[in-house]
Amino acid sequence: MRELKIFNTLTRNKEVFTPLTEGYVGMYVCGPTVYSNAHLGNVRTFLTFDVLFRFLRSIGYKVRYVRNITDVGHLVGDGDEGEDKIGKMAKLEQIEPMEVVQRYTNDFHDVLRQFNFLSPSVEPTATGHLIEQIEAVKDLIEKGLAYESNGSVYFDINKYNEQGGNYGKLSGRILEDLLNETRELDGQSEKRNPLDFAIWKNASPEHIMQWPSPWGMGFPGWHLECSCMSAKYLGDQFDIHGGGMDLKFPHHECEIAQGTSLNGVSPVRYWMHTNMLTVNGQKMSKSLGNSFLPAQLFTGDHDLLDQAYSPMTVRFFMLQSQYRSTLDFSNDALKGSQKAFRRLLNGLRIVKTLSYVSSEEPTDEKKKKNVEEAIEGFYEALGDDLNTAVGIAHLFTMLKYINMMYMNQLNPSALGENTFNELKEKYIHFFEDILGLKEEQNESDASVLNGMLELYKEYKSNRQFDKVDQIRAYFKDNNMVVKDLKHRIDWAWEE
């Protein structure tokens, strides 16, 4: 099996990935809170783990990929006293909370489908795991690591640290510093320590979403669901946990504290955090009002956008950077990606038509080696903390040879049969299966296109250039171009 190195937030080092069980990987990614539309920043995180999922499978792992849907417990605003995000939206729109959940879950799934994401193996919801969460709260109270206060239950951070815990180890924070900096927040009076976080919240009568519990009517704290669901589907300890950098503290820190307390083992072996998407250098976020909805991008309907960009263009754009770097969103960058993506896409069409023909031409060892190194280089790049940017650079090297053969500038036999077949097979595999890119326009009826090209040939041999130009114009109107090559006439998507 090929090597995969992962930058582990816990150790701040790139480490060689070794799974708990040979050949199998358990991966958990914090999914969205479904109280509004998914925006592009969300997409970047899920894209990273989609590619990781694909890559792990490609190199031979069986992967169980769990990505949750948060449909309760995530509060609005500061601290632990805000309104439930979903409950708030339900009131605003005068619908049932579960209607809010359904609407935005559907939206989330639609968006992911447009970006060609694979479905996770399990997609659990917080409301579907209330019993597990209540049991976990009981367990934590029994262990003396949580206490009840006014119908709410809080996790006791000081106790946790006294018993050998290390709250802050993931985000590199020191408990004392945190204590000194904590602002005065509402609801703090219920807590023994301002850093303690709610694992069960007492619901006020007007709170829409509430369930019975040993502590009265209430609802689970946000951090708890991930601990319960990851343990349930992946075990007390599992391989990879991912999410956006902004979840590192406090969400993931709390998950570690809960998981360690509940199961006696630190829950996650490799923590991965994706960096933020920025717009003009600032984090894209809903609260700053600079976030794009995918739909706006696809239609170009946004003040900051010059034109529409297709889902695959955006997917490719994001893959051109490494997930731990911030990525800045701009029209110029997107346009560059659009063109680059179409070139690779045309290469995909071409490579599928190429087949090996033996000839007298001797092998060109230099070119052969160049192709082999590009293929190997792609695997190495992805295996190096998922460096898709470098992987794509190798894909362009492969594209060059594909184009050369297509243009009759290079004979396939110069590469040798094995290398030729590898080039063909891997280009398709990298493009479609690992990077998850695909053709997105419906090809017009091939026979019509071919008929047009036959006419083109005829007009051209009769030197009726006005007719020839008309056919070119027709193709151009449909975002295509006629490729008038020495040895054949073909079409391609306009770049």
Q: Out of 11, 162, 172, 214, point to the residue binding RNA (CB under 7 A).
A: 172
Residues 270-289 close enough to bind RNA by CB under 7 A:
274-278, 281-287
Q: Would you say 297 and 314 are in contact if contact means Cβ atoms under 8 Å apart?
A: yes
Compute the least distance from the CB of residue 62 to RNA, in Å. Answer: 25
For the stretch 441-459, what's the b/e string if a residue is b when 16 or more beta carbons lie within 10 angstroms of its beta carbon? eeeeeeeebeebbeebeeb
CB-wise, 193 or 397, nearer to RNA? Answer: 397
Pair of tokens at residue 192: 């023994």
- The piece of 123-131, 226-234, 292-300, 404-412 that touches RNA (CB under 7 A) is 404-412
Residue 248 near RNA by CB under 7 A: yes
Residue 251 near RNA by CB under 7 A: yes
Residues 381-400 close enough to bind RNA by CB under 7 A:
385, 387, 389-390, 392-393, 396-397, 399-400
Residue 374 near RNA by CB under 7 A: no
Partners of 341 in the β-ladder:
none
- The piece of 60-68, 149-157, 247-255, 422-430 that touches RNA (CB under 7 A) is 247-255
CB-wise, 143 or 335, nearer to RNA? Answer: 335
CB-wise, 264 or 336, nearer to RNA? Answer: 336
Which element (helix H / strand E) includes 274?
strand 268-274
CB-wise, 103 or 283, nearer to RNA? Answer: 283
Q: Would you say 93 and 260 are in contact if contact means Cβ atoms under 8 Å apart?
A: no
**CB atoms inside a 10 Å sphere around CB 104:** 21
* 308-to-195, 300, 301, 481 alpha-carbon distances in Å: 45, 4, 7, 20
- Beta-strand runs (E) in 174-262: 197-202, 218-220, 238-244
Compute the least distance from the CB of residue 73 to RNA, in Å. Answer: 10
Residue 181 near RNA by CB under 7 A: yes
Dist CA 324 CA 272 (whole Å): 9
Residue 213 near RNA by CB under 7 A: no
Compute the least distance from the CB of residue 21 to RNA, in Å. Answer: 27
Pair of tokens at residue 283: 């984090």
Residue 305 near RNA by CB under 7 A: no
Q: Out of 165, 250, 294, 436, point to the residue binding RNA (CB under 7 A).
A: 250
Pair of tokens at residue 310: 């297709």
Residue 455 near RNA by CB under 7 A: no
DSSP H helical ranges for 213-252: 222-234
Residue 119 near RNA by CB under 7 A: no
Which element (helix H / strand E) includes 492?
strand 489-493
Q: How many residues bind RNA (CB under 7 A)?
A: 92
For the stretch 232-263, what's the b/e string if a residue is b when 16 or more beta carbons lie within 10 angstroms of its beta carbon? ebbbebbbbbbbbbebbebbbbbbbbbbbbbb
* 330-to-333, 370, 462 alpha-carbon distances in Å: 5, 34, 47
Residue 227 near RNA by CB under 7 A: no
CB-wise, 293 or 333, nearer to RNA? Answer: 333
Dist CA 426 CA 431 (whole Å): 8
Compute the least distance from the CB of residue 399 to RNA, in Å. Answer: 6
Compute the least distance from the CB of residue 468 to RNA, in Å. Answer: 4
Compute the least distance from the CB of residue 269 to RNA, in Å. Answer: 19
Compute the least distance from the CB of residue 287 to RNA, in Å. Answer: 5
Residue 403 near RNA by CB under 7 A: yes
Residue 85 near RNA by CB under 7 A: yes
Q: Out of 247, 272, 297, 345, point to the residue binding RNA (CB under 7 A).
A: 247
Residue 8 near RNA by CB under 7 A: no
CB-wise, 5 or 143, nearer to RNA? Answer: 5
